[in-house]
Amino acid sequence: MATSMVSQPEEITAGSYVGFDIHRPPSTLYRPVSLRSIATPLTSLIPSAITRQIEFKLVKRGFQFNVMVVGQTGLGKSTLINTLFASHLVESKGRTEPEVAPRATTEIHPQSHVIVENGVKLRLNIIDTPGYGDQINNDGCWDPIVKYIKDQHSAYLRKELTAMRDRFIPDTRIHCCLFFINPTGHTLKPIDIVVLKKLAEVVNVVPVIAKADSLTLEEREVFKQRVMSEMLHNQIRLYPFDSEDNDEEELQLNERIREMLPFAVVGSERTVVIDGKPVRGRKNRWGVINCEDERHCEFVYLRNFLTRTHLQDLIETTAQIHYETFRSKQLLALKESSAKAQQASQA
Amino acid sequence: MAEGHYDQSVSNGSIPHPRDHTPTARPHPTPIQSQSQSQAQAPVIRKKLASWVGFSNLPNQVHRRAMRRGFHFVTMVVGESGLGKSTLINTLFETKLYGPKSVPQPGQDRGKTVQIESTSAEIEENGVRLKLTVVDTPGFGDFVNNDESWKPIVDNIEARFDAYLEQENRVNRSKLVDNRVHACIYFIQPTGHALKPIDVEFMRRLHTKVNLIPVIAKSDTLTEEEVVLFKQRILADIAHHGIQIFQPPQYENEDEETIQENEEIISKVPFAVVGSDSLVNSQDGRQVRGRAYPWGTIEVDNEAHCDFVKLRQMLVRTHMEELREHTNEILYENYRTEKLRAMGVMQDETVFKETNPAVKQAEERAMHEAKLAKMEAEMKMVFQQKVQEKEQKLKQSEEELYSRHREMKEALEKQRLELEDKKRRIESGRPLTPEKGTKKRFGIGK
């Protein structure tokens, strides 16, 4: 379990515009804010000076976002992360030399980075899981992952419960888990179903169809339908969740996102020139794929979803739903065990 | 120095081959004494014909016979589900051998083991009939635990060998049906990194039993550079593990064109293929077999786009007969030898050698003595083993005795202490059982 992060990772600027600086406070006084933690319907009416102050504080502290990528080897996880944040953050962990033995278990590799955009600091923690699903017998390959997620909750809980706790507890809980699905075109594999069930109970899961350039548009539609019906049948709860305090607009947005799940993405760190403009894409003998073109793949939707619209919500849902569930379970268990010990000592 | 005898003189004007052993007075290099020479019946003399005889028509006779009989080709396709195996077979033979796949519904039981399904079709082209059998292996690599997923496949291949072996041993061998697997196309997932452990394990188990042809499935997700790198890594992995994939053999007396074709094919292994059994409109308006994406159309039959043409060439046009020959002569023979040897059938080498009685007697005596010596050594070993066992047993019982003695001593000691304790208590006037009050202290402090 590696909970230690690099204490002061150097700040990097993204290669191109990512967009999380949308969380910066507005310059005028009466613009409605995007922070939902204090967003009530009255916000657009009352002067947003109060909300601005709160926002300023939050922006000064910077945002902390922890994302985990889970998927078989060779699905383009590292490339997608690098494409999402427009910088080379993660190295591909694939095996390229025949002498190197393949990994025997799922390993957890956390990495910390700080990206700055327009004065907004985003502290990013990326947890890679090489070795997942790579062995011949993949029984239990999800255990290290679930354990790591629970360990982060547990560490936070412990810090919370100490008598002299820090003013600001560093948040290492996983806010989002990107699950990469193999683009077979048929349906989910048995191992995917098992792991998705286990992960959806402890973390926000966002499924993604990797290497979507191997599916034509019709195949993509059919595949998505099958995947979602499979998830529905197995009662896998996917993010975004709807809650009572979401307003009409947010519910609609969530509905639109849900229709698009899972995102069919293509990642690329290399730039190609299309119509004279350099964009990130892949070039073949028969065509050029533009990652940022909505007609080609849904990368743009995924990026907006993760960094622009739902960043704060992901963090909150982790804190309010997953962490609270974990916390109540833990405290109940603690109370039970102490009651049992009392009983045993009295007997 | 058995030179053999010549039953044909060279006086009819033919020009002897320089390597002949002719009895003329012309000085010639001394013939090389080779083992085969002493065993062969007669050395080969190459002759030049004076006029046309007509046996150059033999290939046509073989051709006519083969056309009459028809051809039978069995290929196996192995790979995880969703890699395009059925589509590729349909594309290779331009016939919808496999209909659209029935995808399991959510909640439907997907089985626990690899299944073996065989589909046959008779196709005809220009009067040549081909009975094509494709053996599919659904379920391979699809479960959470894929241990031993190659076992049903290996068993199937060996069962086919066994069936052929049994047919060969029949009294009436006129109807020999060859159902052995001639080629196994293994589909590799286009990760871009290297082979996965299941790929390596499968290939290691099967490369001695079947002609392995690895292909990179759905290769339209890889760019050109990625394909080149991936192929290099795959070949490095294959070499590292000593896996023998099917190599088109090279013969010396082939023409330039064939040699070059062969080289091109070999250079593209493993083939990066794309399959499609539907027609789409290409960029310049033609109707081609391919896949239409928003960013372009990939044509299956275009050599610049993928290696499908090369795979088809190797599998169907040029090397189908090679594959069958290799299966029959090398893979099947090896299997047969191993199997018969395992059954205890010994090859009687004396059939080939000329017998020399004196030498044979000496040999027999030596063998006999060796056997005796071996028996003696064995008996000595058995004796030693027995002695060791007895020693062990004795040691064990000794230890047991010791431990029992120790236990009894301890029990005695304990009893003594207890009694002394009781004595002390009685003398100091305290009750024998502990009070209830001491317990409370534990509860508060917690």
On the question of pLDDT at A30 being above 80, the answer is no
pLDDT averaged over every residue in chain B: 81
Among chain A residues, the shortest Cα distance to B102 is held by A186
Q: What is the tens place of the pLDDT at every residue in A93-106?
A: 777 787 787 788 88
pLDDT digits (tens, 9 = 90+) for A45-68: 556 678 788 777 777 778 889 999
Look at residue B160 and tell me whether its pLDDT is greater than 80.
Answer: yes
Residue B184 and residue B311: Cα distance in Å, rounded? 13
Closest residue on chain A to B225 (Cα): A284
Contact assessment for residue A177 and residue A344, using Cβ atoms and an 8 Å cutoff: no
| Backbone phi and psi for residue A68, each to the nearest 5 degrees, phi listed first | -120, 140
By three-state DSSP, how is residue A189 classified? coil
Indicate the residue of A99, A136, A342 with minimum beta-carbon distance to B443: A342
Q: Which residues in chain A are closer than 8 Å to B109, comparing Cβ atoms?
A: none
Whether chain A has a CB inside 8 Å of the CB on B439: the answer is yes
On the 0-12 / 13-18 / 19+ scale of CB atoms within 10 A, B214 is: buried
> Does residue B228 belong to any structural domain of this protein?
yes
Shared domain check, B310 and B235: yes
Q: Does B444 touch chain A (CB under 8 A)?
A: no
Report the distance separating Cα B422 and Cα B432, nearest Å. 8
**B67-86 pLDDT, tens digit each:** 888 888 899 999 988 898 88
Q: Is B13 on the interface with A (CB under 8 A)?
A: no
Which residue carries 């040691």 as its tokens?
Answer: B395
Based on the domain organization, do B287 and B415 belong to the same domain?
A: no
| Closest Cβ opposite residue A230 in set B82, B106, B237 | B106
Domain carrying residue B300: 60-99+112-342
**Residues 6 or more apart in contact with residue A8 via CB below 8 angstroms:** none
Separation CA B77–CA B99 (nearest Å): 16
Supply the CATH number for residue B248's domain. 3.40.50.300
Considering only residues 311 to 370 of chain B, which have any Cβ-Cβ distance to chain A shorter than 8 Å? none
Strands, E assignment, B151-295? 183-188, 212-216, 271-272, 279-281, 287-293
pLDDT at B24: 43
Nearest Cα residue in chain A from B149: A136
pLDDT (tens digit per residue) in B272-319: 999 888 888 887 888 888 888 888 888 888 888 889 988 888 888 888
Which residue has better confidence, B228 or B433? Answer: B228
CA nearest neighbour of A256 among A316, A182, A199, A310: A310
Tell me the C-alpha distance between B339 and B328, whole Å.
15
Number of H helices, E strands in chain B: 12, 9
Q: In this predicted model, what pLDDT tens digit does every residue of A237-292 receive, in sequence order?
A: 888 777 666 778 888 888 888 888 899 999 888 888 888 888 888 888 888 888 88
B266 and B214 assigned to the same domain: yes
Nearest Cα residue to B110 out of A180, A189, A236: A189
**Shortest Cα distance, chain A CAs vs residue B215, angstroms:** 16
B128-136/B71-78 β-pairing: parallel
User: Helices B437-445 and A323-346 meet at what angle, rounded to 10?
Assistant: 170
Strands of A174-283 (E only): list them.
176-181, 205-209, 263-264, 271-274, 277-283
Give yes or no: residues B331 and B390 share one domain: no
CB A85 within 8 A of CB A124: yes
Same domain, B370 and B276: no
Instruction: Select from A190, A214, A295 the Cβ nearest to the Cβ of B220.
Output: A214
Question: Taking a C-beta distance cutoff of 8 angstroms, is the pair B212, B184 a contact?
Answer: yes
B242 and B390 share one domain: no
Tokens representing residue B105 in the block? 């519904």
Asked if B298's CB is within 8 angstroms of A286's CB, the reply is: yes
pLDDT value at position A44? 53
Interface of B with A in 224-263 (CB under 8 A): 224, 233, 236-237, 239-241
B337-364: burial string, b at 16+ Cβ within 10 Å, e else: eeeeeeeeeeeeeeeeeeeeeeeeeeee
Does residue B370 sit in the same domain as residue B337?
Answer: no
Q: What is the ipTM of this complex?
A: 0.82
The nearest CA of chain A is from the CA of B98 a distance in Å of 15
Q: Are residues B325 and B370 in the same domain?
A: no
Matching residue, tokens 């990097």: A12
Q: How far apart are CA A248 and CA A36, in angstroms?
A: 13
Lowest mean pLDDT of B37-41, B152-156, B197-201, name the range: B37-41
Query: Model confidence over A61-92: pLDDT tens digits?
Result: 788 899 999 998 889 899 999 998 888 888 88
Smallest CA–CA distance, residue A62 to chain B, in Å, is 37
Question: How many structural domains does chain B have?
Answer: 2
**Using CA atoms, how far apart are residues B136 and B123, in angstroms rounded to an integer?**
19
* A135 touching chain B per CB within 8 A: yes
Q: Is residue B296 part of a domain?
A: yes
| Cβ proximity of B48 and B14 under 8 Å | yes
Q: Give B-chain residues touching A194 at CB under 8 angstroms.
A: 144
CB proximity under 8 Å: A 39-58 to B: none
The answer to whether B110 faces chain A, any CB pair under 8 Å, is yes
Residue A208's nearest CA partner among A32, A75, A45 is A75
Question: CA B27, B29, B31, B34: dihedral to nearest 10 degrees?
Answer: 180
Asked if the structure places residue B442 within a domain, the reply is: no
Look up the CATH architecture of domain A51-94+101-336.
3-Layer(aba) Sandwich (3.40)
A210-251 pLDDT, tens digit per residue, is 899 889 899 999 999 999 998 888 888 888 777 666 778 888
CA distances from B22 to A231, B4, B8, B238 (A): 85, 11, 10, 50
Of B101, B193, B291, the CB nearest to A95: B193
pTM above 0.80, yes or no: no
Q: Which residues of A touch B236 (CB under 8 A)?
A: 97-98
pLDDT of residue A8: 57
Please check whether residues B335 and B222 belong to one and the same domain: yes
Would you call A140 an interface residue with chain B, using a CB distance cutoff of 8 Å?
no
Contacts of B298 in chain A (CB under 8 A): 284, 286-287
Element (H, E) at B39: helix B35-39
Q: Which is nearest to B328 in space by CA: B119, B110, B124, B168? A: B168
Residue B254, CA distances (Å) to A199, B47, B251 in order: 61, 22, 6
Contacts of A89 (CB under 8 A, 6+ apart): A81, A82, A111, A113, A124, A126
Report the alpha-carbon distance of residue A149 to residue A166 in Å, rounded.
22
Q: Which residue of B198, B220, B241 is in closest CB contact with A136? A: B198
Share of chain B above pLDDT 90, in %: 27
In chain A, what are the domain boundaries?
51-94+101-336
Cβ atoms of A295 and B293 within 8 Å: the answer is no
Residue A264, pLDDT score: 92
Give B198's contacts in chain A (Cβ within 8 Å). 136
The structure tokens listed for A238 are: 């996917």
Side by side, the strands of the sheet bearing B287-293 are B279-281, B287-293, B296-299
Chain A contact for B124, CB < 8 A? no
